[in-house]
Structure 1
Amino acid sequence: MKKEIKLPQGVRHIHCIGIGGSGMFPLVQILHSQGYEISGSDNNESDILNLERQMGLQIHLGHSPENLAGADMVMYTAAILADNPELAAARKMGIPMLERAEVLGAVSSRYQNAVGITGTHGKTTVTSILTHILYLAGKDPSAVIGGKLSTIGGYGRAGKTDLFVYEACEFQDHFLRTCPDVAIILNIDNDHMEYFGTVENAMKSYTAFANMAGRVLYNGDDANTCTAMEPVEKEKYTFGMSPERDFYPADVVRQDGFTCSFDLMHRGEKLTRLTLHIPGDHNILNAVAAAAEAWMQGVAPDEIARAMESFHGAGRRFELVGRVDGVTIADDYGHHPAELTATLKAAMNLGYRQVWAVFQPFTFSRTYLLLDDFVKALSLADHVVLSSIMGSREVNTYNIHSSDLGEKIPGCAWRDTFEEVAEYVMSRVQPGDLVLTMGCGDIYKCARMMLHMGRLKDQEQAEVVR
């Protein structure tokens, strides 16, 4: 039995700084279900804050020392700056303070079958598919997901078994604070280089994460991952597109841009045939990884197939926002050049007249360090429109701006506010176009603005006709 990481003794009321974050919300759900009193604060209104209010939680808009009333522990996200007034007040009052990753570590240590899913790309999709399958198969998992999963009505859940599925984020080695029994490694790319410095350093952290687990499932098609897994002396399995892997797809049939079917293979044996309703070859690989782990968790192949048939994506992963006046508006969380490339390649093959990429760069360091990669990725779209960079936890010491990126992309436009971005796009799109908002910040708000503008325009035109 593994060692439990305990929260500070006597904690009953946890105050969460940055409670509107997608990584914070599922922990809030689990802790609240376990009887903890939860309060929290955030600077911006969001769907998550509304969901938390519906749970009966006390939510404060804005940060103030008064918000800490009654709290005997503070949980905060990595995006919170050190001079935050609530952090400063908690420090002065001697209230224990734990970063979100530390709390996730404590939660993961309570389960004897904790499945940690990590990698530069695809964590939320794989975590969502696996949770979806396990939940529908009656395995009653607990889960922490970085996106909203409609199957469970939120970003996480508290089950009554020892099975726990969670996203293990590599940012600043946060995943090394968790306690995985199973490690799933999806890929290793050049992200968070402001911390790791080199991909080789990142690979060492992934090696350490895998060594913490008893069993490892990893991407045998990804060179960096394979190299990182070489020194790992654990029970290891591979997935990929090649028959050389332990799990792989065969006889892939694409029915349309969003739907395909394939045989799930295990060492030359067909387990079942799966139908997938999310686009792109990268999602076939994600589905294979999730289905493989579900099978190793004891889910019957026919149950995996039934569950996969009913999966239509995680929130903010090529999510349809709406259609107006012949224009399709969708939203995607992708924020790394490799993710933008995979998503835009899939979008360009869906048969739309033209594809608009509306991108909100996230963090100054990533934009600066991967500038040329962003140019190459975004140039796949027919039109590119940029919002201002969302700095989040960073100060712009790089002196980088969206205009520096936009000037390198032919025909690119950039605007400071979402309102200006939405007006620019909606005054130029034509029926048959796809508008895809992209980024891990709050660019989804721009997608909704565009949908609202289109509906208002339709209403005004209808009134003129009458």
Structure 2
Amino acid sequence: MKPDLGAFPFRDRRYHFSGVGGSGMTPLAILAVSLGAEVTGSDRNLDRGLPLPSFSALRDGGVRLVPQDGSAVTPDLTAFVYSTAVETANPDFRRATELGVERIRRGSFLAGIAGARRAIAIAGTSGKSTVTAMTAHVLLEAGFDPTFLGGGAAVRLKGAVPPGSLRLGESDWFVVETDESDGSVAEFAPAIAVLTNLSRDHKEIDETARAFEALLENTRERAVIHSGDPILERVRCPDRLPRIYAAIEGVPTWAPADLVARSVRLSPDSVRFKVDRVEVSVPFPGAMTVENALLAIAAAVAAGVPLERAAAAMASFGGVRRRLEPIGAVDGIDVFDDFGHNPVKIRAALEALRPKGSLWVYYQPHGYAPTRFFKDELIETLRVVMRPQDHLLLAPIYDAGGTTDRSICSEEIVEALRKVHVDATLAATRAGAALEIAKRARAGDRAVVMGARDDTLPAFAREILAALEEHAGSRGEARAETPATRPAR
């Protein structure tokens, strides 16, 4: 039975979404329309004329796109919804303040919607988007027909609407990705909470741990917690709340695991493991994939899906855009696109993608403040994970505009990395980086584009693939492959 949308008084409401092209804002704006609201949206990238897929999806979803100049913020708005990328000096934000229109953060708006459903809220500093999409996929395969809203676009999730990060289900289940970066994770009151891991990312660890504790305090039915993550031990869980602990065999745990991934086998393109003698196969590489799949299975089990059915569903998981996403291959050189942007995510992705040959990493730091925040950790991570035959092409720091402190630069990181014997080069232009990879990469190598916030990065990964095809003369005739045409390996 379809949920009663009358539970959401949106039919006579008007919202303006500022920063609507963001990965979390786009599906939320479309969801608001689906619940009956009239929605307008603005975005600086729209004003810049960038033809991003999210803008087409928004128009198709019923959102009216307007300039980000404050003109769409009118006194009759129910509320002004904004992303963390929208500063107080933004014309939309200033106008909402002048008019006294209610201002709601994206995460808070989403928490309000999720609170009226039987939500499964996924939280953590790494892996959230993948675990959210995996959990929705498993529930869908089990016949639960959930609504899904994630921070990344799910690939081949049945019923998902473009760009892929939203699915409208017929049941009361709502699988949703939370956000610890703005603290809104503490505002969710789900049926089931899932904690994937905890590391120093947008905030210091203790601050994020307190937000996770608030989430658990609000959780109504059960928690799923990764007890193989050492820092999650700092997060206090209410005694009243039943929980499922999950971990990988051989990894030290701070609480006995109820579900254990055993007999883990990693291959270049997939992982296999067992949970209680039930075989699990996932068509994506890396130890992080094992963790993510195990937690998604545990979340599904907490929701009532039999273990065997949850495990079987993982074999048909289609992945998430920009999460170890295979773009294609030319003459044995694979190209990937990945969202990795903090030291933990970068290390997990590079270890998963590590080829027999060289790894070509084009990494664009996703902002001045975050780069300054984890600069030392980033340098140490790359020192450890990059092998002598690997190459780092470090792009200039992404500048999203605004009033940020721009006193740090990529040149500082390149210099520090060279001192610890990492083959690092400043990639001043994308054309130059693509050309270097195209001319120097050889069969058995892998190239990956990494970074967040910049919606043009996926297109650049495809530009690298095109450059490899164009400069294939030194490697013989080019044979381009895509995920759809690539033969089994």
The TM-score normalised by the length of structure 1 is 0.88
2:443 aligned residue: 431
Match of 2:320 in 1: 314
Code of the residue aligned with 2:243 in structure 1: it is: K
Within 5 Å, give how 1:141-220 maps onto structure 2: 141-150=146-155, 151=157, 152-153=160-161, 154-193=164-203, 198-214=204-220, 215-220=222-227
Moved more, 333-342 or 423-432: 423-432
Cα offset, 1:420, TM superposition: 3.8
* 1:364 Cα offset (Å): 1.8
The answer to whether the aligner puts 1:290 opposite 2:302 as a matched pair is no
Matched, 1:86 2:98: no
Alignment gaps of 5+ in structure 1: none
1:85-104 C-alpha deviation (Å, 9 max, x unpaired): 12222333343322111211
State whether structure 2 residue 348 is matched by structure 1 residue 342.
Answer: yes
Larger displacement relative to structure 2 (15-24 or 430-439) = 430-439
- CA shift for structure 1 position 373: 1.6
Matched, 1:261 2:272: yes
Partners in 2 of 1:234 and 1:462 — Cα distance? 61
Provide closer, same or farther for how the CA distance between residues 393 and 200 of structure 1 changes in structure 2, counting only shifts above 3 A: farther
Residue matched to 2:460: 446
Give the letter for the 2:70 counterpart. P
Q: What letter is aligned with 2:442?
A: Q
Contact 1:388 1:401 in 2 (8 A): yes
Q: Distance in 2 between matches of 1:200 and 1:98?
A: 25
| Residues 141/7 of structure 1: CA separation in 2 closer, same or farther (3 Å cut) | closer
The match for 2:364 is 360
Does structure 1 retain, via aligned residues, the 8 Å contact 2:337–2:461? yes
Q: Is the 8 A contact 1:24 1:100 kept in 2?
A: yes
Distance 2:210 2:137 in 1: 31
Where do residues 400-439 of structure 1 align in structure 2 (5 Å cutoff)?
400-410=408-418, 411-439=423-451
Distance 1:288 1:412, change over 3 A: same
Other structure's SS at 1:240 match: strand
1:398 positional shift: 6.0
Aligned residues: 445
Q: Is the 8 A contact 2:190 2:219 kept in 1?
A: yes
Secondary structure of 1:342 counterpart: helix
Partner-residue secondary structure (3-state), 1:294:
helix
Three-state SS of the structure 2 residue aligned to 1:438 is strand
Looking at structure 2, the residues matched to 416 and 58 of structure 1 have their Cα atoms a distance apart, in angstroms, of 37
Could you list the per-position Cα deviations for residues 46-80 of structure 1 after superposition, in whole angstroms to 9, with x for gaps in the alignment? 221122223343223x5222344785432110111
C-alpha deviations, 1:164-201, integer Å up to 9, x for none? 111111113111122222111111111123xxxx4223
* Partner in structure 1 of residue 69 of structure 2: 64
> C-alpha distance in 2, partners of 1:9/1:311?
33
Show the counterpart of 1:251. Answer: 263
CA separation of 1:72 and 1:210: change in aligned 2, threshold 3 A:
closer
Q: Amino acid of the residue matched to residue 107 of structure 1? A: I
Choose 272-281 or 63-72, whichever is displaced more.
63-72
1:333 paired residue number: 339
Secondary structure at the residue paired with 2:153?
A: strand
Amino acid in the other structure paired with 1:55? G
2:132 aligned partner, one-letter code: T
Match of 2:287 in 1: 281
Deviates more, 1:170-179 or 1:412-421: 412-421
Distance in 2 (CA, whole Å) between partners of 1:179 and 1:392 is 32
Q: TM-score, normalised by structure 2?
A: 0.84
Provide closer, same or farther for how the CA distance between residues 170 and 34 of structure 1 changes in structure 2, counting only shifts above 3 A.
Answer: same
1:21 matched to which residue of 2? Answer: 22
Report the Cα offset of residue 218 of structure 1: 0.6
* Residue of structure 1 in register with 2:392 after alignment: 384
> Could you give the per-residue CA deviations for residues 230-287 of structure 1, whole angstroms, max 9, x where no partner exists?
5654212211014831111122234x3122222213xxxx4x3211111111211111
> Secondary structure, in 3 states, of the residue corresponding to 2:417?
coil
Give the Cα–Cα distance (whole angstroms) in 1 for the partners of residues 477 and 270 of structure 2: 35
Give secondary structure in 1 for the equivalent of 2:29. Answer: helix
- CA separation in 2, counterparts of 1:284 and 1:146? 20
CA contact (8 A) 2:18 2:42 kept: yes
> Would the aligned equivalents of 1:148 and 1:155 in 2 still touch at CA under 8 Å?
yes
Contact 1:335 1:438 in 2 (8 A): yes
Mapped contact 2:325–2:337 kept (Cα < 8 A)? yes
Counterpart residue identity of residue 404, structure 1: E
Q: Match of 2:376?
A: 372
1:229 aligns with 2:236: yes
1:37 is matched with which residue?
38
Q: Secondary structure at the match of 2:248?
A: coil
Q: Secondary structure at the match of 2:207?
A: helix
Percent sequence identity is: 27
Which residues of structure 2 form unaligned runs of 5+?
A: 251-255, 479-489
The separation in 2 between residues aligned to 1:288 and 1:168, in whole angstroms, is: 19
> Does the 8 A contact of 1:327 with 1:433 survive in 2?
yes
Q: What is the distance in 1 between the residues matched to 2:433 and 2:77? A: 41
What's the secondary structure of 1:404's corresponding residue? helix
Secondary structure at the aligned position of 2:310 is classed as helix
Offset of 1:15 from its aligned partner?
1.9
Cα distance change, pair 38–325 in 1 and its aligned pair in 2 (3 A): farther
SS in 2 for 1:251: strand
